[in-house]
Every structure is written in C-alpha cells, then in structure tokens.
Structure 1
Amino acid sequence: MKIKEIIVVEGRDDTAKVKSAVDADTIETNGSAIGEDVIKQIQLAQKTRGVIIFTDPDYPGEKIRKTIAEKVPGCKHAFLPKHLAKPKNKRGIGVEHASLESIRTCLKTVQEEMDVVEAEIGTHDLIEAGLIGGPLAKKRRERLGDILNIGYTNGKQLEKRLQMFQIKKSDYLSALETVLREEENE
C-alpha cells in the first residue's frame, strides 16, 4: 500500500514500523517539544503532498497532534486505538507496538479536518448519551472514538472533534448504539 501524503510520527521506531506496514515517507517530531524546523518541514509537506498525523494514543501524542493541527491547518489524522498500541508483556504504548495490519487499517481510515460548520451534535446530546459526566463516560468515549476513527477524547474534546471531522448525526447515533449494545452484552 503506497501512501501519497507524508506521515508525521513521533520517533524513529514509529518510522520503522510504519515503513514496514506501508510504502510511505515520514517526518519525525522527536518528542512533544516540536522545533520550528520540524514545523516548517510539516508545512512544506502539507503544501506539496499533504500530511497525515499519526501519533501515539497517549497524552504526549495528543499534545503533538494538537500543536501540529494548530500550526499546519488541513492535515489528515490517523488514530490508533489504545488497545492496539500496547506491547505484549511490556510497558508503554505507541505506534511502534501496533501490528502491521492495525497500522494499515488506521491509515486507510484517516479523518480529514474540515472547516467548522454548525454542529449537528451538541453538548446536550453527549451528556444525554452518558459520554460526559457519567460513571461509564470515559469507557464510552474511548469505544465511540474507535468506532468513528476519531481517537480517544476527554469530554471537552469530543464535541470539538465530532465537529472538526463533520461526523454526521446518523453516524454518531449508529456508533453510540453499538457502544451501548456492547455494554449490555458485557
């Protein structure tokens, strides 16, 4: 599988794993303190080929994603669910621990940032669904993010991410139904 866009990853282990899974070029941020030279590389990549941000599903990875998205508008996003990023019998979490098939799947289901339009899904909908403020909210948000390919978010980020990727209310409701059905079957 050949990827036209340049994939932004955190480090060289991520680059090695991504290049084992797909034919692609990468830019490494080398941590969450992204230098201005790296931002300039990403901006050039966005202008010439497009960019896919593919960071670890943890706090530093989300911080990197947010920093790049603010400084380089229009990037695409690939999200790796946490359960697919954990190594067997080791500590840590990251792209470098994912299977090659998981990486391919994530890169096939990238989300593209869109201009913000009026939200179809509001805070009230999220509270009513138990995605904000309930005892199962975190678990539900994590599963919803996996199903919609928008990654894990906290309560405040969820509404913004649904809006940013222009998730249709019908797709949201279908994903929520799946989450609630799975919960019942546990």
Structure 2
Amino acid sequence: MKKIKEVLVVEGKDDTKAINRAVNADTIETRGSAIDDDTLALIEKLADQRGIIIFTDPDFSGEKIRKIVAEAVPNAKHAFLPKKEGRPDKAGGSLGVEHATPEAIRAALAHVYTETEAAPELISHADLVTAGLIGGAGAKQRREQLGELLQIGYVNGKQLEKRLRMFGIQPAEFGAALAKLPPLKEDLHAE
C-alpha cells in the first residue's frame, strides 16, 4: 500500500477510514466546516513539519473548508475527488470522500496540485467563453466535466479562471481536456 508523506486534511472519521482502505496516510479531521482555532493551529504545525494535502468532499462544505485551510496554509497541496466518485448511489444521496472507492481515492491522490502565487494567466477569460465553459447553455456541465478531467474539482464560472491559474494548468493540458468534452452545440451545425 502506498505511503503518503504529507498529512491529509479531511472532514471526518469516515473519510479517514476510507483513506486508510486506499493508502497508508495520516489524517487530521476538521470535524466540519466550523474549524476551531486549535485544529487550524495543528494543521499549520503539520504543514510546517510534513506538509499537508487538503482532500475534502466535492461539495459546498468541502470547498468552504478547503478555502479556510488554504488561507491559513498557502503552500498546501490539493487533491480533488470527482463528484461522481463521491456518491455511493449515482442517483443522489450523500456525497463525500467516505463513499469513494479505494481506486478513486488513489487516483485523486495521484494528481495533487500546489497553488502557485502570482502565476501568469495562461488561459484567458475569452478562451473559457469560446470553450463554452462560461456563460452559455451547458456551461455548468462542461465545467464539471473539465474539472474531473483535469482533477481540479468543480468550480463556478468566476472561480474557474482562478483555479486554472492557481494550479498552473498549461494550455496544452487544458486543450487536451477540452478535446475530450462533447462538442459545443454550435459546432454540430458548423458543417
């Protein structure tokens, strides 16, 4: 079983159990999105000693925790679980790391990103509009699919630009992921 050097920041004990079925790793649990000062101080200490990987649920609360921890630890690494991998029954129900298969957890941890401060804009707002990721019919679904392909999690239109820049997604990687998305509706009538 693969050993992870960094400490994984997760939401709860069920997440820890799921991770331990997939990899050999230490975790620290936030116990929800109201992270107390002691837990945040411990996360900061662990970040200095071993490094951390933020691995929260692919939902609103998980994103809130990710933002709080990333603000306190700017050099934190990030791993993202696709929404479809965090649902035990693909029709709905609860969503989270605790429901992911060991394979899905290992895949998410194989693609870890570190935020890059002052990263240059490699993919412009106009590129995102042209790609049908902002402001058009089906943009939300395309962003969700792109987030899964790039393993950067789901974000709304405003945050997509920022996350692509933060994680230094290169134009070639972006283009390769776009090529895997279904064609835009306008493209179907271009012939």
**TM-score interval w.r.t. the shorter chain?**
over 0.9
TM-fit CA distance, 1:2: 0.3
**Aligned counterpart, 2:137:** 135
Partner of 1:176: 178
- Secondary structure in 1 matching 2:180: helix
Q: TM-score, normalised by structure 2?
A: 0.92
Change (3 A) 1:125 1:154: same
Paired residues, number:
184
Q: Which residue number corresponds to residue 125 of structure 2?
A: 123
In 2: Cα distance, 1:21 partner to 1:37 partner: 28
Cα RMSD (Å): 1.6
Which region of structure 1 is more displaced relative to structure 2, 133-142 or 89-98?
89-98
What is the match of residue 48 of structure 1? 49
From the superposition, tell whether residues 6 and 123 of structure 1 become closer, same or farther in structure 2 (CA, over 3 Å): same
TM-score (norm 1): 0.94
Which aligned pairs between 1:60-75 and structure 2 lie closer than 5 A? Answer: 60-75=61-76
Structure 1 pair 87–104 and aligned structure 2 pair: CA distance change class (3 A)? same
Alignment-mate amino acid for residue 96 of structure 2? G
**Which amino acid in structure 1 is aligned with residue 9 of structure 2?**
V
Q: 2:35 & 2:9 partners in 1: Cα distance?
A: 12
CA contact (8 A) 2:132 2:184 kept: no
For residues 118 and 111 of structure 1, what CA distance do their matches in structure 2 show?
A: 16
Structure 2: state its 5+ residue gaps.
none
8 A Cα contact 1:86 1:94, kept in partner: yes
Name the residue aligned to 2:40.
39
- The 8 Å contact of residues 53 and 78 in structure 2, kept in 1 or not, is answered as yes
Compute the displacement of 1:116 (Å).
2.2
Identify the match of residue 149 of structure 1 among 151, 171, 188: 151
Give the SS at the match of 2:8. Answer: strand
> Which amino acid is 1:5 matched to?
E
